Structure formats: structure tokens, C-alpha cells
Structure 1
Amino acid sequence: MSAEIPRDGLTSRFWETKPMKDLNQQEWEALCDGCGKCCLNKLEDDDGTVALTRIACRLLDGESCLCSNYTDRHKYVPECIVLTPKTIEDNLYWLPMTCGYRLVYEGRPLYDWHPLISGNPASVHQAGVSVKGMTIPEINVDEDDWDDHIIEEPL
């Protein structure tokens, strides 16, 4: 039986059958649910505990929850982490608990609101798990005041 081919050209439920290291670029990018949580600035304690803030990377569009200059982001934000199958293990500690990359890496199912399941890119916002409308651009907050903006992860 052949796999269903959705309109976007991706094989249906590819993440369940294909090892992460074998995903092509389009499949890899499709694992992103578009929540924007990875683009929030985080604070890390000496013990390695990571706290999420509502302070967003200067390139995050707070309404779409997407990078406003994804292709050239390293030109403007050199410290932006490039997540790949090779780098994911080293970055799990700061990835959101609902992150598609994290879930697939850990062998857990994607949530029903994930666009690969729902077929709707807006479902992440409709489910209330994105940062849509709740961010503050990092250029508006002094770094010494970031701890005043710690939040719980929207689940």
C-alpha cells in the first residue's frame, strides 16, 4: 500500500516512519509547528534550569510567530541556533515541551493541533500554544530586566 501524498508534496506521517537523520529539508522544516516559542529569549540558571521570557528575538513577528527574515537571520542574529538532526540532542534542554522536533526526537506523537496533523497552519494559534500576541521585542527591554518577564510555557 502506498503512502498518501498530501497537497504539499510531503508523504503522509513521514515523521513516524522516517528516521530524523534521513528527513529532507522540506520534511525537517515541516516539523516546526510555528508556535514561536523557540524564538523567545531564555534565561538559564547556574544549575541549568531554563526560564522562558515573553521577550522575543528582534526578528520574530509576534502575530505570525514566524521569523521575519528566516533565510538571512544569522546576518542579524548571529547567535540564532540552527537546529538540525545533528544538533537537536545538544539543544533539547531549551526546546519547548510541545516542539515538534523534540516530540519526534523523543519518539512521542505530535499534538492534534500541529499543522502536520490538523492540516491548518493556524491550528497552533487556535489551540493557544503559540506566543501570538504575547511577546515584547528584545530591543524594547533592557537585558537586566528580562527576569521581570519570565512566563510559563503556553501549553
Structure 2
Amino acid sequence: MIKPIKLTDTQRMRVEEMKRMTPQEWDALCKNCGICCLYKASTGNQVVYLSKCCKYLNKDTKQCEIYADRLTHRGSCCEKVTLNVVLDGELVPRTCEYVEYIYGPAPEQINLDWSMVTKHEPGTPMTPKDFIQESVLWNHR
């Protein structure tokens, strides 16, 4: 469900543009940062990113190894980044290109130390040490 957010005329225009995008145009917006492939926990208006990523993320290229089949592949943890997900503002960071397309550049960019991130095997429990050191938090709108 889309949260009611007061959008400017320009932001509303961008949302309408995104609604009309083809899948190829939508995918072309992605800057392949890989952050959406990190496991995360949501608490109110903050998202805490864990130091575990999807087992199909190539950490060097930030590309999904099963991209074409990511939404149907058994064992994949991927969820499609839709306009509703972007407008909800909790599952993707403020630095996500889809979010920036609507709201403009994020006030600060995030530089994640990928050496701290390990691949997660589904079914394996998470522990407190899986939280990224110093709790990387992003406040959303």
C-alpha cells in the first residue's frame, strides 16, 4: 500500500512517467548499487541493513547472477522493486535511483564496505553480529 506522501507537481509528474515505463526503461534506471540485495530489518521509519546479502548477488559487479529468473527462482530472496515499493520508502534506501528519480538526489551518498558483507544461505538464522557495524541507518522522508 502506498503511504500518503505530499508530492510536488514535479514529483507527481515523475511518478506518472514511471507508471508508463516499459520493463526495460524501468530496469535502465537502476544504478546497480546492490544495496537492495542486502537483508534488512524495518523499524518504523528506519531501515537497518544487515551484513548479509542474497546468495545470488555478485559482490564485485553488484549484479544478480540469476537476474532474468530472480522472481521465480526457488530459493531466491528477491522481491521486485515496484513503484509501490519505491513510494512506500522502507525497502529501498533514499540513495536508490528509483527514489532519486522522483525526489531528486539524496542529501548524502552511501559508501558501503562490501568486504563486511557475506552471502546468506536461506534458512540459516541471523545473529546480532549480522547487523552492519555501527548500524547503518537511513531515515526515509
Task: State whether residues 19 and 83 of structure 2, in contact with CA within 8 Å, keep that contact through their aligned partners in structure 1.
Answer: yes
List runs of 5+ in structure 1 lacking aligned partners.
1-14, 112-126
1:63 to 2:63 alignment: no
Identify the residue that residue 94 of structure 1 maps to in structure 2: 91
RMSD: 3.2
User: Does residue 125 of structure 2 align to residue 143 of structure 1?
Assistant: yes
CA contact (8 A) 2:42 2:90 kept: no
Q: CA 1:28–1:19 in 2, change beyond 3 Å: closer, same or farther?
A: same
Residues 5-154 of structure 1 correspond to what in structure 2 (within 5 A)? 19-45=17-43, 47=44, 49-74=46-71, 75-77=73-75, 79-90=77-88, 92-105=89-102, 107-109=103-105, 129=111, 132-139=114-121, 142-145=124-127, 147-151=128-132, 152=136
Is 2:85–2:91's contact at 8 Å kept on the other side of the alignment?
Answer: no
Cross-structure match for 1:116 = none
Q: Identity across aligned pairs (percent)?
A: 26
Cα separation, partners in 2 of 1:28 and 1:148, compared to 1, 3 Å:
same
**TM-score with structure 2 setting the length:** 0.67
Unaligned residue ranges in structure 2 (runs of 5+): 1-12
CA contact (8 A) 2:33 2:62 kept: yes
Match of 1:117 in 2: none
Q: Which structure's CA Rg is the greater one?
A: 1
Distance 2:84 2:126 in 1: 33
Deviation (angstroms), 1:84: 2.3
- Return the TM-score normalized by structure 1: 0.62
Question: Structure 2: which amino acid aligns with 1:108?
Answer: G
Compared CA separation, residues 131 and 39, structure 1 to 2 (3 A): farther
Once the 2 structures are TM-superposed, how far is the Cα of residue 130 of structure 1 from its aligned partner? Answer: 5.2
